[in-house]
Amino acid sequence: MGPQLLRTESPDQTAPKGRILLVGIGPGSVDHMTHRARAAIAEADVVVGYVTYIKLVADLLEGKEVVRKGMTEELDRAVSALAAARQGKTVALISSGDAGVYGMAGPTYEVLFEAGWTPDDAVQVEIIPGASALNACAALVGAPLTHDFCAISLSDLLTPWPVIARRLNAAAAADFVVALYNPKSGRRTRQIVEAQRLFLAHRRADTPVAIVKSAYRRRQNIDFRTLETLCEADIGMLSTVLIGNSNTVLRHGLMVTPRGYANKYDLQDGGGARAGEKAGRSLSTGLDGWLAGVLADHASGVSAADLAQRHRLPLDYILATLAEPSAPDAEEVTQDTE
Ligand code: SAH
């Protein structure tokens, strides 16, 4: 649609109605780009992105203005996208993976807010989601993210190291599976060593680790290591490091984090529920069962401080749960359909 057509629909009759499309193109192969991502690029008058990503959509670029940019010009890119959109153009900003995961979506909104933009503005913004590196890398190595996980970027270009180190420490202590983005570059080589040091304080040295380089690209490489040997791997700007939790296993060349079914079901003998467990209900050690246990322990003389230590939870939290003992009747709660 051209700006003329759009102008009649605009609440502000005078402003040309441009658009900024933040397009996540997935890990880097055409097959893993969404239909909407390709369509959005086809709709654009101007396409902005790194050379590598622009090459992937070369077939869609005929007749378009193409701006090939380098690495450190994100704010410039957002500013020029806004300028072009203000003239009524549709601008596609291409990010690898998902534009909202360590991508252009954040800086673009920051620039827009700074310029006084609001969602009612004539310039409209659409974010087109794509498979992020963690999705792509996980798919290649097995099923490492099937339980709670988080992403941490080791880049200290815009984030102070103590912030990064605290997050690494907290994630390691809380037993999250972790995807490390931007793990290492030519100049940033020590960050990954520090990350390993923080993790080793909380996790076994033989915790499975996968280093995936250039997922779904020509130079794709997968290296399985342990936490102890992680730093011997060839790690670079195009690598993502996946660190398993305390239950993650490496079997037949596959990194798998159990979902938790073995806590509830007998995986060998026909898959029936274990004694004391019920399909569709919280575990016996789920919230209600746990509360009942904490109350019973407290009634039999275990102090709140001991309970806090036993369950590795804040004392305030234990005190609050003890002060509010009535658990909902489990039988009345509708069955979960997880
Ligand atoms: N927006 C992107 C992330 C950009 S940050 C996304 O959602 O995936 C750049 C980091 O992403 C790299 O340092 C690397 O850690 C990771 N990355 C991006 N593409 C990758 C790929 N194809 N294979 C492995 N890691 C990748």
Q: What is the 3-state secondary structure (H, E, C) of 70-114?
A: CCCCHHHHHHHHHHHHHCCCEEEEEECECCCCCCCHHHHHHHHHH
Range 134-256 classified under CATH 3.20.20.70: no
Residue 68: how many other CB atoms lie within 10 Å? 13
Between CA 95 and CA 89 the distance in angstroms is 19
Cα radius of gyration rounded to whole Å, the chain: 25
Tokens of 217: 């690209």
3-state secondary structure of 8: helix
Query: pLDDT digit string (tens) for 80-115?
Result: 899 999 999 999 999 999 999 999 999 999 999 999
Taking alpha carbons only, the member of 159, 37, 145 closest to residue 99 is: 37
Q: Is ligand 1 within 6 A of the CB of residue 16?
A: no
Q: Do domains 19-131 and 134-256 have the same CATH topology?
A: no
Q: Is ligand 1 within 6 A of the CB of residue 149?
A: no
Q: Is ligand 1 within 6 A of the CB of residue 111?
A: no
Between CA 111 and CA 21 the distance in angstroms is 15
Q: Where are the domains of the chain?
A: 19-131, 134-256, 279-332
CA of 118 to the centre of ligand 1 (A): 30
Q: Is ligand 1 within 6 A of the CB of residue 96?
A: yes
Q: Tell me the sheet residues that pair with 26.
A: 97
Nearest CA to ligand 1 atom 9: 182
The third-level CATH classification (topology) of the domain covering 19-131 is: Cobalt-precorrin-4 Transmethylase; domain 1 (3.40.1010)
Ligand 1 atom closest to Cα of residue 216: 22
Query: In the chain, pLDDT over 70 holds for what percent of residues?
Result: 91
Ligand 1 atom closest to Cα of residue 212: 24
CA of 309 to the centre of ligand 1 (A): 39
Q: Is ligand 1 within 6 A of the CB of residue 212?
A: yes
pLDDT for res 336: 56
Q: In what order do the strands lie in the sheet with 249-251?
A: 142-143, 254-256, 249-251
> Cα-flanking dihedrals φ and ψ of residue 34, to 5°?
-80, 160
Q: Is ligand 1 within 6 A of the CB of residue 211?
A: no
Q: What is the mean pLDDT of the chain?
A: 90
| pTM passes above 0.85 | yes
Ligand 1 pocket mutation, candidates 238, 241, 243, criterion most atoms within 8 A of CB: 238
Taking alpha carbons only, the member of 94, 129, 123 closest to residue 19 is: 123
Query: pLDDT digit string (tens) for 126-170?
Result: 999 999 999 999 999 999 999 999 999 999 999 999 999 999 999
Nearest CA to ligand 1 atom 17: 133
pLDDT for res 329: 53
Nearest CA to ligand 1 atom 20: 133
